[in-house]
Amino acid sequence: MMILSINEKITNWLLSTWKPTFFQLGLTRILFCLGFYIFGLPQFIEISNYDLVFFDPPVGVSTLIGPITSSDFWWNFDLILRITFVSLLVGFRTKESSIVFGLLLLFGFTYIYSYGKINHNIFPVIFPIIMAFTNWGGALSVDALKNRKTKVEPRGWPLTFLSFLLGWGYFTAGLPKLIGGWLDLSYSTTAGFILRRFYSSAESLYLNEFFVKINNLFIYKLLDYNTLLFELGFIFTIFWSVVFLRAIGVAAMFHLGVLLTVNIPFSLHVLVFLPYIIYFYFNNNPQLSEKFESFFRRNKKIFIAIASILAIIIIADYNPIPFKLPQHSILFLVCVPSVFMLLPKSVNLFFIRMIRRIIPEK
C-alpha cells in the first residue's frame, strides 16, 4: 500500500504540477528561438579545422564514428541545422523539428567536446527535445493554422521533468563546492573567481573591477554561502509550483549576478527559464493572456511576414552587423521580468495594470 501511495503522489506531482496553455507554450517556443538566434547558432564547420592530435572523445557517438574532418559534411550539417531551427521557430512539424534540432545540437557539440572545448550548455541543447512533448506547436505556429480541429492538448509533465533536471543540475554543481571547502572561513573561492577573471580577461566588464576593489572577506563569504544555499536548496522547491517559480526568479538573478561580478555569462542557460516565467505572468492573469492572443491574431499577417523574412535570413546564414545584439543582452532580457517573480503581489498587480493600459482590449 505504501508503494502504491508513493507512486500515486509521484504521478500526481508529475502530471498536475503544471497546467500550461497552448499560447504560453507557443510564446515560449518563439522567444526561445529568438534568444538562441540573438546568441548565435553554432557553426560546426569549424570542427573541420581542428587538429586531429587533440581528438580524444568520451564514450559516445564520436567514439563509434571517429573524427569527421570533411568541411563539406559540416557545411551541410550547419545548413540542415538552420533549416530545422527555422522549422521550429515557425512551428512547422513542431514536435519532429524540436527533437531533430536538439539531436543535431547534441551530435555537433559531442564532436566539439571531443577536441577538449567544453561549455556548460547542456540544458538549452536538451530543452527543445523535452519541450517537444508539451505540444508547444499548438499555438502561434504553422501547425496550429493547418490543424485547427485536432484534439491534441498541452502537456505539463515535461515542465515537471525539466524542473527536476534543473534541480539536480544545480545540486550536483553545489555538492562539490560544499565538499571542496566553500564553508572554510579562512578564504573565499568566490573571491578567487572574481580576481582570476579580472586579471585574466581582456577587459573588466560590469561590476567585476568594483568587487575586486572591495577586498572584504566577510562580503566574499556571504557570496560563497549564498551560492551554496541556492545551488543545494533549489532541488527542494520543485514539488511546489509557487515556490519553484520564486526559485526561478532567484536563479535568474543568480546568473545575472555571476555575469556582473565574475564576468561568466550563462546566456543560453537562462532561456530554459522561459516556460516558467511565462507561466507566472499569464497563468496568474488569464485576461492578460487573452489580450496577447488577441493582439497576435489581429496582427497575424505582420508576424507571418516577419517570420518569413527571418527564416530566409537564418537559412542564408546572413546576420546583418548593424542589427546584431550583444550575447549578454539575452541574460538581461530574461532577468528583467524575473525580478517581478520575487516582488510582493501588490507590485505585480500594479505592473499588470500598466500592461493592460499599453495593450488595448480591441
* Cα–chain center distance at 342: 19
Among 198-202, 216-220, 279-283, where is mean pLDDT lowest? 198-202
* 108-133 pLDDT tens trace: 999 988 887 777 788 999 999 999 99
Look-up of cell digits 542564408? 316
Q: Extract the C-alpha cell encoding 63.
A: 567514439
Look-up of cell digits 538549452? 124
User: Which pTM value belongs to this model?
Assistant: 0.88
* 285-340 pLDDT tens trace: 666 677 777 777 777 788 888 888 888 888 887 766 555 677 788 888 888 888 88
Angle at 267 between CA 264 and CA 269, to 5 degrees: 105
Burial bucket for residue 268 (CB in 10 Å: 0-12, 13-18, 19+) = buried
Residues 216-247, buried b or exposed e (16+ Cβ, 10 A)?
Answer: eeeebbebbeebbebbbebbebbeebeebbeb
Angle at 281 between CA 280 and CA 283, to 5 degrees: 70
CA distances from 34 to 9, 222, 293, 334 (A): 37, 36, 19, 12
* 46-75 pLDDT tens trace: 998 888 888 888 777 888 888 888 899 999
Distance CA 197, CA 249 (A): 26
Look-up of cell digits 510564446? 27
